[in-house]
Amino acid sequence: MGPSPVTLTRFILEKQAAPPGATAEFSALMAQIGLVGKMIAQVLRRAGLVNVLGVTGEINVQGEAVKKLDELANDTFLKVFQHSGLVCALASEELEKPVHLPENWPHGRYILLFDPLDGSSNTDVNMPLGTIVSVLRYEGTGGLPSEPELIRKGTHQVAAGYLMYGSSTMLVFTAGQGVHGFTLDPGVGEYLLSHENIRMPRAGKVYSANEGNYHKWPPGTRRFMDYLKTPDKATGRPYSARYSGCLVADVHRILLDGGIYLYPGETDKPEGKLRLLYEANPLAMVVEQAGGQASTGTLRILEVEPKGLHQRVPLIIGSREEVSLAEQFIQGMK
């Protein structure tokens, strides 16, 4: 009989893998995030069938009108958290404004900012998808936070993580004391510790970018991409290309094996495509905690001063060696 399985809750309680002084409520928060993951995974496993049912305009087996999966994932977050007594505000990629809980509802001190379904274009082709979560703690004295109190620099996050719906469903998170990965055992409905204290290799062999945008990139970014593809045995080039269309899946691969993911700024869209508060910031916290780096190309992601809830930012994230090299090319030093 091997070692006894370590569940997400047991791990957090035993390792105090929580923000200082908040172990019990944090493990409850993570358990609820895990629940959202199980509920989304459950729907995604049958997405094709739901679509088929939906296309005929019928209602699905749950007797609900078939919703877009993004909307369904978003609704799952609201349903699980609104009455949890753990949060005081929720902000989602799917909602223009944050959701503030009514004063008289039970609420806690956590603020969640999330992308409920990342890579949603992958649902119809059975490719990986993810959910990304950024966790802030409300330090204000008033009852509930105002919108500006949700728009914080990434260094203010107390925790961050993601769910990945791939060949298995995984939950990966950090609360500032390392990065830990859990794999859902569907048979028992528990997330079991599978990757304790993930460390990202200093350098990798893989780059992940949508090269269909190459012609839109500024010269420095193009020179970096050309460098990665120029054979040089001494530096182990050329790299292999891997791009899934899901940020979570591409970053997860790089977290474990090393390498670099880029969604850079473009000449006529310098801010890029990805969102700062609930995509770049949480993944940057996870990657830095694993020994990697996350940059806009000129600035550490976690230091970017946010201006709006849905602000976009260029994202260069992965192994230290490749990210700092990308910065040198982008800043014209190479």
Instruction: Return residues touching ligand AFP (CB under 6 A).
Output: 118-121, 210, 245-247, 250, 273-274
User: What's the closest the beta carbon of residue 4 comes to ligand AFP, in angstroms?
Assistant: 36
User: What's the closest the beta carbon of residue 119 comes to ligand AFP, in angstroms?
Assistant: 4
Reading the block at residue 293, the tokens are: 């780096």
Give one DSSP letter per residue of 244-298, joined into a string: -S-HHHHHHHHHHH--EEEE--BTTBTT-SSBIIIIIHHHHHHHHHTT-EEESSS
3 state DSSP class of 119: coil
DSSP percent split of the chain into helix, strand, coil, nearest 5? 35, 25, 40
Question: Which residue's entry shows tokens 């190459």?
Answer: 214
3 state DSSP class of 93: coil
Comparison of 83 and 269: residue with beta carbon closer to ligand AFP: 269
Sign of CA dihedral 269, 272, 276, 279: positive
Comparison of 10 and 273: residue with beta carbon closer to ligand AFP: 273
Task: Say if strands 190-195 and 206-208 run parallel, antiparallel, or are unpaired.
Answer: unpaired
DSSP state of 48: H
User: What's the closest the beta carbon of residue 314 comes to ligand AFP, in angstroms?
Assistant: 13
User: What's the closest the beta carbon of residue 17 comes to ligand AFP, in angstroms?
Assistant: 26
Cα 55 from Cα 48, distance rounded (Å): 10
Comparison of 111 and 251: residue with beta carbon closer to ligand AFP: 251
Comparison of 86 and 133: residue with beta carbon closer to ligand AFP: 133
Comparison of 116 and 181: residue with beta carbon closer to ligand AFP: 116
Comparison of 19 and 282: residue with beta carbon closer to ligand AFP: 282
User: What's the closest the beta carbon of residue 309 comes to ligand AFP, in angstroms?
Assistant: 16
Comparison of 211 and 305: residue with beta carbon closer to ligand AFP: 211
Task: Say if strands 169-174 and 179-185 run parallel, antiparallel, or are unpaired.
Answer: antiparallel
User: What's the closest the beta carbon of residue 262 comes to ligand AFP, in angstroms?
Assistant: 10
Query: How many CA within 13 A on the CB side of residue 179?
Result: 23
User: What's the closest the beta carbon of residue 219 comes to ligand AFP, in angstroms?
Assistant: 21
